[in-house]
Amino acid sequence: MRAYPYRMETYDGAPEPSTEPDAEQPDAAQPAAEEPAAEEPSKLLPVAELHLHIEGTLEPELIFALAERNGIQLPYADLDELRARYEFTDLQSFLDLYYANMAVLQTEQDFADMTRAYLVRAAVAGVRHAEIMVDPQAHVSRGVPLETCVNGVASVLANSLEEFGISTLLIAAFLRDLSEESALEVLEQLLAMNAPIAGIGLDSAEVGNPPAKFERLFARAKEAGLRRIAHAGEEGPPSYIIDALELLDVERIDHGIRCMEDPELVEHLVEERVPLTVCPLSNVRLRTVDTLADHPLPAMLAAGLNVSVNSDDPAYFGGYVDDNFVQLETVLGLSEFDRVRLASNSIRSSFADEDRKAELLAELGHS
């Protein structure tokens, strides 16, 4: 598994991707005419990335560049020492490093640079629409004003279609290990400042922080006309998926892989076409599955579940959406038919407007 998709000698806002730079050629959406050679991955399909934490795109090179710009002393001597910390034993061990690294994000420019770096890389990965989560509480709690974080990310997203060919929406995700009061307070601030958010999400440490804890938050978001998603069934039990749907009235489940332990739940999710934003490389890195070969994605597809493939926190988990697809093809033998189905699911399950969805589906060859 390739640990880092690109390297930046010095950060200039335009990381050099390791994949072919001509990936956005007009025929990228068409199925390959010939069976690709084993060494040569299939062409990229246009996809929507629905499960992406912008803080999880913070590459080690950018962490060092921002630390230098802000005069922050990192607890790592060099890039290699930082990279050595990327061996996780579970979700919490990842979260500890993830939050520690956020210390380098101080100014609007920092948030904007991080966002721009993701979009540059995502464009190469075939992403044509992205719904990007930001964790406001993770920044407010360390003294960064809410406006700094939201405006920094939003300023780049505002021109993402023109600049990168990627339509985008911003989602404010709340940390489930904090209190509902804290989440409600930040949500009210976001609404008061008229923040350009399309919806809310629920992330961070799942086990012991069930959906029921956030019923008032999600009711308030619904009342305010916001879309609703939540992480559930990653490390937490299948009952968290049921509760997220029933108590929080979410429109999508992030991860959801543990639904496979409950056949009745699978039947319900298939019937209702509930989107599950699956993140295969993330699941391997966080040991939710032992190896990619053990991943339930093929079984989920076979069951008729509405699954898509996403990168979650790509800087930490070994790759972006294209890396996930390449690995799925190589390790699990994912077929062209299934790749197109996953791409189509991602577009249909997005919160993009109908015109944009139709445009992307036509590009995929599914009008």
- Specify the stretch interacting with Zn ion by CB under 5 A; choose among 103-111, 169-177, 194-202, 308-316: 308-316
Beta-bridged to residue 127, according to DSSP, are 47
Amino acid in the structure at residue 293: A
Phi, psi at 136, each rounded to 5°:
-55, -40
The CB-of-51 to Zn ion minimum distance in angstroms stands at 6
- Specify the stretch interacting with Zn ion by CB under 5 A; choose among 42-50, 296-304, 305-313, 330-338: 305-313
The CB-of-280 to Zn ion minimum distance in angstroms stands at 13
- Considering the complex, state which of residue 113 and residue 312 has its C-beta at the smaller distance from Zn ion: 312
- Specify the stretch interacting with Zn ion by CB under 5 A; choose among 161-169, 170-178, 307-315, 354-362: 307-315
What 3-state DSSP class applies to 228? strand
Helix (H) or strand (E) holding 17: strand 16-17
Active site residues per annotation: 234
Residue 312 contacts Zn ion per CB under 5 A: yes
183 neighbors 213 (Cβ within 8 angstroms): no
Phi, psi at 31, each rounded to 5°:
-60, 145
Residue 135 contacts Zn ion per CB under 5 A: no
List the one residue out of 86, 84, 56, 89 whose CA is nearest residue 290.
Answer: 89
232 neighbors 241 (Cβ within 8 angstroms): yes
Binding residues for Zn ion, total number by CB under 5 A: 1
- Considering the complex, state which of residue 43 and residue 51 has its C-beta at the smaller distance from Zn ion: 51
- Considering the complex, state which of residue 244 and residue 364 has its C-beta at the smaller distance from Zn ion: 244
Binding to Zn ion in span 22-81, by CB under 5 A: none
What 3-state DSSP class applies to 24? coil
The tally of CA atoms less than 13 A away on the side-chain side of residue 15 is 28
The CB-of-89 to Zn ion minimum distance in angstroms stands at 18
Residue 131 contacts Zn ion per CB under 5 A: no
The CB-of-2 to Zn ion minimum distance in angstroms stands at 21
Question: In the complex, which residues of this chain contact Zn ion (CB under 5 A)?
Answer: 312
